[in-house]
């Protein structure tokens, strides 16, 4: 490739951050090291890696921007024949928005809620003096139409809170495209969206990039997503390049072991448990619940769960799956229906439940960071349920905690650590140990793996399955991830807008014939193969070009 | 965070190391003032009410800061005054913090009717201007130390209540508090083990500021004749007694005034520095 045809050329990029621990001298740590790539017109490069891989940092560096504390310490970034790292702040200001634009992960946090969408979309075009207001408005309408937004003429008159999350993400893409930039940096644009919404946003972005012949950097942690949109993929780990090649090569013939582990899907699938004559651990009977007594969040939900089994509750955000967990735990007394444990109804309100009723029902949260008190040590976090429910103190407590730490595959050295000194996966393991310490019969797992990187999440799932075998504990597993559901469930409940649309054993729920919603949900999960997006869309007959 | 595992001997050194240079000077000033207050009878050159010369004598070798309107040594009065100022302002601030933060946490954790009741009562207290409220009560009640401390502490606790409730509401929405609730922990346990450790940083910062305000408030009350009663020394008192001297170009009133300013500024410097450091540890949230 000739350098002149490249929109973006990054050479030996190195980015450092300064870190300061109180009482010590500040020191520099290299967070991105020796990254080189080239990007031609109309091409899409996927940057993929776990959290901390440096992918967003690289994306921002291509706009000559370093996040707070980050500093570009080496290498060159050439944007359309200009070395942006040597440009003056004034020149960089002219560049950003006009030649290179950025689409952030959370569109909701990136739009000003007090201004209309249209006004914000054309703002940078006006500021850079690229077109006058009328032309800009017309162009915005054109972009809205191209991105498949409803009612493109009127769409710009709405405020950010008046449109859905998927539409907002597309509006943000329109904002980035409004100056006709040569490069757009997409930073996890679909990560915060439901799978059913993700697919249409993905299709819109892909189509708009093709039509405008824009180069794009697509940053994500989801290899299946990037496979649909990128021409080339760079796999990153800990700020270093692992593998760089065409999408076809990375997906179908990965060379490096790390890439192979990303490509391979969950290896072990739990065999489904057969019918048991045993009494169910938990029965939810006709649960109807609302937060303000008028808007029903849950309507007539009935499920049951046997000892040692896993019930997965699947659905997109707003389907009421977390609300069901709140009803079962007693945080939200239902308007109608009852929760039965071992044949005895549980008091609907938390404060009326006995210690024993609380003990058998434990919970693990989505965000391990906020599920543990940052000022307590690991031993205190795990030790409290031991002390509270069983009165175990002193040396006995110590040996019990160490035993629990072994069970979650962490050693004794974690005993005195604070949560801040643990990695995400380790934190979630400690949360599991805290739940296990109460020797529960049922653990509610609320999206326990969705905040974790793929490999770490696999480890957590394996641990949970192993613990289930050892302790015969039942899991109520709330998730939006179909792959996880496939791997761990015995029974599955699919929820949509507060109703149960499908419920039964794994084999019956995940086998055709499907109902409409389950069909939509299952087919929206990106598959790790090229051309999946086109195939699905063609199947649905939604793409009209 | 691991500070409590350190040896206590190095705690002060560690504390100093995390302060800004200005705050270090302030810390030294504060410690010196504290020592002076503690050992007043041993280090003061004269007795608290001993008349050593003519009134409003200028600086001299005999009395370094001159004498006051009755001919008492100003330096001696300042040292004894520090004792009263620290004792009363300190106790009142401690009282206001214990009360205010405890009630604030209860309101934040229980929510609902308890929160409404406590918060509206607090609003009622705050609706009355503090100084006027204090003047009314102090002129009716017998004038002694305990009444003074109680009035100052209770009036000040309304501000602490507001802050601690706001801080605790933020903390109470975290999953770890919900986890404790699901475990069946009682409100008091949640407050002391889950909320308090996480609220300490902003509360500590507020403690420093409130202490400074208490010093000023005490000085105001003394200046108006309702604080510390003569002949006992107190900085606000000394400003009032010597204020007529300013007309004749006598700086005797300015010296206790400068002491109040020095104490207030020192506390503020330390607190600012501590807030700056600890909030950046939490991820750079601006205080």
Residue B160: what pLDDT? 93
Q: Where are the domains of chain B?
A: 84-286
What are the chain A neighbours of B178 within 8 Å (beta carbons)? 331
What is A89-152 written as a DSSP string?
Answer: HHHHHHHBTTTEEEE-S-HHHHS-TTS-HHHHHHHHHHHTTSS-HHHHHHHHHHHHHHTT-SSH
A274 HSE (CA, 13 A, CB side): 1
Q: Of A423, A429, A377, give the one whose Cα is nearest residue B197.
A: A377
A479 touches chain B (CB under 8 A): no
CA distance A236 to chain B (A): 25
CB pairs under 8 A between A and B: 58
**What does the alpha-carbon distance between residue A16 and residue A89 come to, in Å, rounded to a whole number?**
20
Return the residue of A nearest to B198 by Cα: A375
Contact assignment for B18 to A350 by CB distance below 8 Å: no
Residue labelled with tokens 């469930």: A489
Residue A399: what pLDDT? 93
A77, A13 in Cβ contact below 8 A?
Answer: yes
The class level of CATH for B84-286 reads mainly alpha
Residue A361: what pLDDT? 92
Residue A20: what pLDDT? 64
Residue B284: what pLDDT? 33
A476 touches chain B (CB under 8 A): no
Residue A474: what pLDDT? 93
What is A152-183 written as a DSSP string?
Answer: HHHHTTS-GGGS-HHHHHHHHHHHHHTT--SE
**What does the alpha-carbon distance between residue A325 and residue A315 come to, in Å, rounded to a whole number?**
13
Residue B281: what pLDDT? 39
What are the chain B neighbours of A362 within 8 Å (beta carbons)? 182
What are the chain A neighbours of B185 within 8 Å (beta carbons)? 388
Which residues of B fall below an 8 Å CB-CB distance to A?
1-2, 5, 14, 17-18, 174-176, 178-179, 181-185, 193-194, 197-198, 277, 281, 284
Residue B278: what pLDDT? 59
Which residue among B176, B185, B277 sits closest to A370, beta carbon to beta carbon?
B176
Contact assignment for A370 to B174 by CB distance below 8 Å: yes
Contact assignment for B183 to A372 by CB distance below 8 Å: no
CA distance A390 to chain B (A): 12
Torsion of CA A117, A119, A121, A123, to 10 degrees: -150
What are the chain A neighbours of B204 within 8 Å (beta carbons)? none
What are the chain A neighbours of B15 within 8 Å (beta carbons)? none
Contact assignment for B179 to A350 by CB distance below 8 Å: no
CA distance B199 to chain A (A): 10
Contact assignment for B183 to A438 by CB distance below 8 Å: yes
A271 touches chain B (CB under 8 A): no
Contact assignment for A384 to B281 by CB distance below 8 Å: no
DSSP state, residue B195:
I
B15 HSE (CA, 13 A, CB side): 14
Residue A108: what pLDDT? 79
B162, A357 in Cβ contact below 8 A?
Answer: no
Which residue among B18, B175, B181 sits closest to A367, beta carbon to beta carbon?
B175
Low-confidence ranges of chain A (pLDDT < 70): 1-5, 20-25, 68, 265-270, 273-277, 541-545
A370 touches chain B (CB under 8 A): yes
Tokens of A318: 């707003």
Sign of the torsion angle spanned by Cα atoms A265, A268, A273, A279: negative
CA-to-CA separations, A443 to A320, A363, A367, in angstroms, rounded: 18, 5, 16
What are the chain B neighbours of A364 within 8 Å (beta carbons)? none
CA-to-CA separations, A276 to A209, A284, A303, A304, in angstroms, rounded: 54, 18, 15, 12
Please give chain B's pLDDT, 287 residues, in tens: 444 444 455 677 777 777 788 888 998 998 998 898 888 888 888 888 888 878 887 888 777 788 888 888 888 888 998 888 888 988 999 999 999 999 999 999 988 899 999 999 999 999 999 889 898 988 898 878 899 999 999 999 999 999 999 999 999 989 999 999 999 899 999 999 999 988 888 888 788 778 878 888 888 888 788 888 878 888 888 888 888 888 888 888 898 889 988 888 888 888 888 776 655 334 333 33
Window 414-433 of A: residues touching B by CB (8 A cutoff) are 416, 418, 420
Residue B5: what pLDDT? 45
């Amino acid at each position: 490739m000739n350098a002149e045809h490249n929109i973006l050329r990054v050479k030996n990029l190195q980015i450092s951050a300064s870190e300061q621990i109180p009482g010590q001298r500040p020191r520099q740590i290299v967070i991105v090291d020796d990254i080189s790539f080239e990007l031609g017109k109309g091409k899409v490069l996927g940057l993929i890696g776990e959290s901390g891989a440096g992918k967003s940092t690289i994306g921002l560096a291509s706009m000559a921007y370093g996040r707070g504390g980050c500093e570009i310490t080496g290498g060159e970034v050439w944007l359309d024949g200009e070395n942006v790292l040597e440009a003056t702040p004034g020149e960089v200001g002219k560049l950003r928005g006009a030649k290179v634009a950025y689409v952030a992960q959370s569109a909701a946090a990136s739009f000003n809620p007090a201004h209309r969408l249209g006004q914000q979309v054309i703002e940078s075009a006006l500021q850079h003096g690229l077109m006058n207001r009328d032309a800009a408005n017309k162009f915005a309408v054109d972009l809205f139409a191209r991105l498949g937004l409803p009612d493109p003429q009127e769409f710009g008159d709405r405020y950010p809170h008046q449109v859905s999350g998927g539409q907002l993400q597309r509006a943000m893409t329109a904002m980035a495209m409004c100056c006709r930039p040569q490069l757009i940096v997409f930073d996890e644009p679909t990560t915060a969206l439901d799978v059913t919404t993700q697919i249409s946003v993905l299709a819109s972005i892909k189509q708009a990039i093709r039509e405008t012949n824009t180069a794009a950097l697509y940053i994500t942690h989801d290899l299946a997503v990037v496979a649909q949109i990128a021409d080339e993929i760079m796999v990153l780990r800990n700020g270093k390049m692992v593998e760089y090649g065409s999408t076809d090569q990375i997906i179908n013939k990965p060379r490096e072991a790390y890439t192979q582990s990303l490509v391979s899907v969950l290896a072990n699938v739990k065999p489904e448990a057969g019918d048991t004559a045993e009494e169910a651990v938990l029965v939810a009977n006709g649960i109807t619940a609302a937060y303000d007594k008028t808007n029903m969040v849950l309507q007539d939900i009935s499920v049951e769960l046997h000892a040692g089994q896993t019930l997965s509750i699947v659905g997109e955000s707003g389907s009421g799956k977390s609300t069901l967990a709140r009803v079962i735990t007693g945080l939200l007394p239902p308007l109608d229906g009852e929760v039965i444990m071992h044949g005895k109804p549980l008091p609907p309100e938390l404060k009326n439940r006995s210690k024993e009723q609380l003990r058998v029902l434990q919970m693990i949260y989505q965000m391990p960071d906020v599920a543990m008190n940052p000022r307590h040590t690991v031993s205190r976090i795990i030790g409290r349920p031991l002390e509270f429910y069983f009165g175990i103190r002193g040396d006995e407590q110590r040996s019990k905690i160490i035993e629990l730490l072994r069970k979650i595959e962490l050693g004794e050295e974690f005993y005195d650590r604070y949560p801040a000194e643990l990695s995400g996966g380790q934190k979630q393991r400690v949360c599991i140990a805290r739940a296990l310490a109460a020797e529960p019969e049922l653990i509610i797992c609320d999206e326990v793996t969705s905040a974790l990187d793929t490999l770490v999440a696999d480890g957590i799932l394996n641990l949970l399955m192993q613990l289930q075998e050892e302790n015969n504990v039942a899991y109520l597993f709330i998730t939006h991830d179909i792959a996880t559901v496939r791997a761990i469930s015995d029974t599955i409940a699919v929820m949509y807008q507060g109703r149960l649309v499908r419920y039964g054993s794994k084999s019956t729920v995940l086998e055709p014939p499907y109902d409409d919603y389950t069909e939509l949900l299952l087919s929206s999960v990106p598959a790790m193969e090229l051309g999946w997006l086109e195939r699905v869309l063609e199947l649905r007959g939604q793409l009209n070009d | 965070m691991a500070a409590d595992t350190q040896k206590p001997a190095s705690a002060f050194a560690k504390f100093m190391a995390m302060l800004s240079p200005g705050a270090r000077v302030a810390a030294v000033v504060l410690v010196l003032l504290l020592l002076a207050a503690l050992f007043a009878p041993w280090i003061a050159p004269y007795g608290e009410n001993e008349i050593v010369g003519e009134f409003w004598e200028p600086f001299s070798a005999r009395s370094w800061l001159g004498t006051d309107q009755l001919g008492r040594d100003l330096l001696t009065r300042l040292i004894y005054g520090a004792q009263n100022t620290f004792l009363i302002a300190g106790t009142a601030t401690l009282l206001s913090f214990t009360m205010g933060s405890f009630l604030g946490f209860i309101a934040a954790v229980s929510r609902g009717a308890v929160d409404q009741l406590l918060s509206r009562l607090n609003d009622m207290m705050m609706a009355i201007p503090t100084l006027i409220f204090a003047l009314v009560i102090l002129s009716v009640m017998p004038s002694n130390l305990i009444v003074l401390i109680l009035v100052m502490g209770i009036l000040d606790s309304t501000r602490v209540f507001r802050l601690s409730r706001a801080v605790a509401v933020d903390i109470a929405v975290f999953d770890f508090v919900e986890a404790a609730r699901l475990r069946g922990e009682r409100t008091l346990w949640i407050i002391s083990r889950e909320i308090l450790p996480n609220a300490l940083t902003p509360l500590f910062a507020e403690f420093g500021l409130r202490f400074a305000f208490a010093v000023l408030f005490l000085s105001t009350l003394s200046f108006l004749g309702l604080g510390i009663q003569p002949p006992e020394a107190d900085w606000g008192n000394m400003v009032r007694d010597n204020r007529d001297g300013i007309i004749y170009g006598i700086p005797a009133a300015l010296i206790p005034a400068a002491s109040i300013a020095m104490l207030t500024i020192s506390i503020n410097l330390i607190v600012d520095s501590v807030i700056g450091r600890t909030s950046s540890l939490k991820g750079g949230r601006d205080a």
